[in-house]
Structure 1
Amino acid sequence: MAAIPYDGFEPFPGRPPTTTTPQHRRIQVAVTALLVLAPFLGLAAAVWLFWGHGVGLTDLLLTGFFYFLTGFGVTVGFHRLLTHRSFTAKPALRTALALAGSMSFQGAVISWVATHRRHHAFTDRPGDPHSPYRYGTGPVGQLRGLLHAHLGWLFGDDPTDVGHFAPDLLAEPVMCRVSRAFPALCVLSLALPALAGWALSGFSLVAGLTALIWAGLARVFLLQHVTWSVNSLCHLLGTRPFTTRRHDRATNLWPLALLSMGESWHNTHHSDPTCARHGVDRGQIDLTAGVIRLFERLGWATDVRWPDPRRLAEHRRPLPDSEPLASSGPLPSSGPRRFDAEPVSADSGTARRDRVS
């Protein structure tokens, strides 16, 4: 996929017609709707239960446990390990993280990684699967783009070529098996909290049902929308303390830091994608980096790419880090560097580091 010239203002140009068959397209939309709407219905049920009866401590504890279990599967496993290779994990840990991330209802591991690598290769320009600037920088275009980046892109007919963006994972038998097991892992993601609630309550069916609603469906809903907010809000609101590629508008958005487990330090991440820590400044909470540090101390993770002070200094913008993001117009590189999007190389397993010219 080649980069298309883009001025930073206008809607992205049209793309060639897809080769997806109508039948395959209907199946795709139906499955996506199920993955999105089922957690929403669970949230509605949870709100109804809370309004009438409150929520028990067991349900809250199970919700928190499964939220962070599956959330770290996405942030530590899908994102920092498999997409960007921020560290090397022992095979058992690598597989466990892929399984946990697959239980988040965010897609099969190989397609998730391929889509995210594509996002980095073409951030906020034609080719980016979920840029909020897809429809331009005017008020109507921005609102439409925000909805597209948050949720609408999931229903679009713009498939990512996994053979191009994730050839390393396609060549890994274990990851292929985990990808194929995605539907079963979604069922397991709901069954485990239900069984835990049932068992911990003395085998009460009602307790199992409330655990299913809170620690299953409502938990999935919250994690999905926090992740999607990084795609949408973290390219529109926040600060940009570090330089990124031309047109890349990734921001740091502190209100999402805890729930996103450090992923909302998105500008820092886009400035140095392979770094294992995204919250690099004082007071920036990054729970994912803390988990990686724990794995490193246990000997389960090696070759961790921690922040390089020299690189941080080179990429830090001369403007104060409290400067708000300008929501329109092209974004030239700040400082002496110029960045252009490049495709993924088959041997790197991630988007190439920006070329300096």
Structure 2
Amino acid sequence: MIAVKIITPLLVGFAVTQVSTLTTSAYLHRALAHKAVRFRPGLALFLRFFLWLTTGVKAREWAAVHRKHHAFTDEEADPHSPAQLGWVRVQLTNFWLYRRVANDPVTVDKWGRDLTPDKWDRWMFDRGPLGLLISTVLLSLWLGWWQGPLAFAFHIVSYVMLSGAINGVGHTFGRRPFTNSATNLHWLAMLTSGEGYHNNHHGQPTSARFGGKWSDFDAAWWLIKVAERCGLAEIRKLKGNTVSA
């Protein structure tokens, strides 16, 4: 019985991580940072709301840090380069490496100048701790007074570790079909909604599709395609793009 009470919140936490990673990849990464897809306002608002509840991330900061990473990939100015810092350090300290750059208003203004905060950001989404608190309370009401916080803590740790793996492991080990320092790792893609096809992404950064083959596990791309079929998204068309074909 005790084992079940522990395993259940861990499974719930991991499920939350998977949906959060899917939302991060589809909205923050592909739509916001690279403008590879444009979601209809209603769907975009829903994705923003979910990210607020599960990550507390400020969208403008996330996009700015990521754009700087692409501008200086594995150079000294890269916010989280394993070539500069070592993949183990990036894996274990990715959160603090991210916060160091995200807390710099000059960087955010420069790389996120087109992402002006709207009323939803000012009233709700920029209040990250509030979203995290609400999620913890909701999970506690569902799972129990200690199982809820355990589930959310496991989610946060998993989310941060997977992000670190993309930036660290995903620039160190794996295949490089495109000429860049990022790599493709199928197992990592399966855990991160397609983010593990990192070499493909750096090879074609404005493509909404990261997987190169139909069999590649690119869950965020599948979500985007379903949204497009439902009239809720518009995918950026790229000529000669082998990744998004």
Say if 2:141 is the partner of 1:209: no
Higher helix share goes to which structure?
A: 2
Q: What residue is the counterpart of 2:218 in the other structure?
A: 286
- The correspondence for 1:195, drawn from 141, 148, 152, is 141
TM-score (norm 1): 0.60
Distance in 2, matches of 1:183 and 1:156, equals 18
| Aligned-pair Cα RMSD in Å | 2.8
Which one is further off, 259-268 or 150-159? 150-159
Q: What residue is the counterpart of 1:259 in the other structure?
A: 191
Q: What residue is the counterpart of 1:70 in the other structure?
A: 20
Distance in 1, matches of 2:157 and 2:89, equals 21
Q: What residue is the counterpart of 2:164 in the other structure?
A: 228
Which one is further off, 81-90 or 188-197? 188-197
Q: What residue is the counterpart of 1:153 in the other structure?
A: 97
- The correspondence for 1:166, drawn from 109, 112, 133, is 112
- The correspondence for 1:116, drawn from 57, 66, 78, is 66
Residue 147 to residue 292, structure 1, CA distance change in 2 (3 Å): closer
Distance in 2, matches of 1:230 and 1:243, equals 18
Distance in 1, matches of 2:162 and 2:50, equals 17
Residue 265 to residue 106, structure 1, CA distance change in 2 (3 Å): farther
Distance in 2, matches of 1:105 and 1:113, equals 14
CA contact (8 A) 1:71 1:104 kept: no
Q: One-letter code of the match for 2:146?
A: L
CA contact (8 A) 1:78 1:101 kept: no
Following superposition, the deviation at residue 106 of structure 1 comes to 6.2
Residue 179 to residue 295, structure 1, CA distance change in 2 (3 Å): same
From the CA coordinates, give the structure whose radius of gyration is larger: 1
Distance in 1, matches of 2:6 and 2:89, equals 39
Say if 2:236 is the partner of 1:312: no
> How many correspondences in the alignment?
241
Following superposition, the deviation at residue 110 of structure 1 comes to 1.5
Residue 295 to residue 169, structure 1, CA distance change in 2 (3 Å): same
SS in 2 for 1:312: coil
Which runs of 5 or more residues in structure 1 are unaligned?
A: 1-49, 136-141, 198-206, 314-357
Q: One-letter code of the match for 2:116?
A: L
Distance in 2, matches of 1:189 and 1:69, equals 14
Q: What residue is the counterpart of 2:32 in the other structure?
A: 82
CA contact (8 A) 2:81 2:168 kept: yes
Distance in 1, matches of 2:226 and 2:42, equals 16
Q: What residue is the counterpart of 2:179 in the other structure?
A: 243
Which runs of 5 or more residues in structure 2 are unaligned?
A: none
Distance in 2, matches of 1:77 and 1:177, equals 20
Following superposition, the deviation at residue 180 of structure 1 comes to 2.1
Following superposition, the deviation at residue 109 of structure 1 comes to 1.7
